[in-house]
Structure 1
């Protein structure tokens, strides 16, 4: 069964849940936060992820999506379970219940506005960003039987294309610019669908990681940490045995994810393990 909470996301449950309408096919809706106005001549710094997360749990909770996604860091926050409607779409009385019109209607707000500046580099379109985390996001949406299709066409500009007939009859991905009763024209672009990931090794539990533990899972983890440039191993390290070099290397991975303090002490936890994607061992 699919997870109602995206495993990689910070859970920020707003509690205000309401059912979706299974009379319609499953959908995902692509938005951008568009929280600042910038131009090529006058770019602006990206708003911090924490600021938008706070907004959607306070004054902006009436317009909160399911998922806030930072495509520069691969960070997520989730405000509603997948089985509930969220509130990022205009939903007029008596019309199509846009926020609920599907077995799921998963709404994603990418932290982005055109000509945002990140670490000195300016990005004109969302698709130009690193799109970190897109693989995990795409796979989680797929787990809810949302097909990898754009019934109204993949967004390539800030133009409105709306059809109530298509919206009611076809599942898949829709831009905010495609949704009936709405007047927004975002997101302007979106990454292409990711190749499906190979199965990952499930989290073996915190108790598994103790000094002297010998397992092919440790070896597979070692190789992934090296591939992620979190190699803190000394020459001659025994790759299938858990020891201090594994602690140091895993702490480097946790720090790469933006964790700190006790959350980056080198002891694997389920969220960081799920994001490492250790290949499943048959």
Structure 2
């Protein structure tokens, strides 16, 4: 199961959690843009602690807090909401699409940055010019919540806006603040490229993959079933007389239910189909 909290992040929880609406999983990229600077007149970066306390402790800041505040120079993170709650970093007008809630998750990330900020005497015009420390960990955590490594409205490359409510409501992936309906911001201007996804283990394919309506999908063929069965045998839960093989059979069902019981599940919770928690614990090799 994906972690509610980004591993390694400091937690400064606001405490007014609220559910999302379901639908395509999304992440929203922001920069704090807390000072106006130019190439001719750069300004010193605002201290990370200022933004952390603004979002986490200030009454006004708490009304616009994201899930994650990220310092791309040091790799520090502070988290204000668990992943499954909505946060408040985009405008959400009455009667329209619920921008902060329009997905199974809507993970909002604020990078500490403004154009032409100065750090240790060096000036940075774009977020991608910074060290982007911690990005790989952040990207992996967002990905673990089902947010694919895609920009449905294009990877941001400038401080310009481009919005489509239809795309926003129907497509999973990463969105710039500049892509979110009902909003007028043009950030983040740039964002680091996606990191390589680890391919050690087969990702959970969803309960429907294992079912034919309300019954197990017996007779379905996939190399995943072979890899799954081999891991069940290795864990001492195999109930096979032959195989395992690529065709789903009753022995696979019996074996997986034995694995779910071994993991502490009972009753209907131990029945087929596989759940995300036990699937991730089984560590099925990627096929």
TM-score normalised by structure 1 residue count: 0.69
What does residue 49 of structure 1 align with? 48
Helix, strand or coil: the match of 2:50?
helix
| Aligned counterparts, 1:167-178, within 5 A | 167-178=168-179
| Aligned counterparts, 1:10-29, within 5 A | 10-22=10-22, 24-29=23-28
What does residue 4 of structure 1 align with? 4
- Is there any run of 5+ residues in structure 2 with no aligned partner, and where? 201-287
How far is 1:7 from its partner?
Answer: 1.1
What does residue 157 of structure 2 align with? 156
Helix, strand or coil: the match of 2:118?
strand
What does residue 66 of structure 2 align with? 65
Q: For 2:111 and 2:47, locate their aligned partners in 1 and report how far apart those are by CA, in whole Å.
A: 12
Tell me whether 1:74 sits opposite 2:75 in the alignment: yes
What does residue 39 of structure 1 align with? 38
Helix, strand or coil: the match of 1:63?
coil
- Is there any run of 5+ residues in structure 1 with no aligned partner, and where? 200-282
How far is 1:197 from its partner?
Answer: 4.7
| Aligned counterparts, 1:71-220, within 5 A | 71-197=72-198
Largest Rg, 1 or 2: 2
Q: Give the paired residue count.
A: 199
Q: Deviating runs (4+, > 3 A) in structure 1?
A: none
Q: For 2:159 and 2:175, locate their aligned partners in 1 and report how far apart those are by CA, in whole Å.
A: 13
Q: For 1:31 and 1:8, locate their aligned partners in 2 and report how far apart those are by CA, in whole Å.
A: 20
How far is 1:196 from its partner?
Answer: 2.5
Q: For 2:48 and 2:169, locate their aligned partners in 1 and report how far apart those are by CA, in whole Å.
A: 33
Helix, strand or coil: the match of 2:90?
coil
> 1:118-176 CA deviation, whole Å, 9 max, x = no partner?
11100000011100000000000000000000000000001110000000100000000
RMSD: 1.2
Q: For 2:184 and 2:28, locate their aligned partners in 1 and report how far apart those are by CA, in whole Å.
A: 14
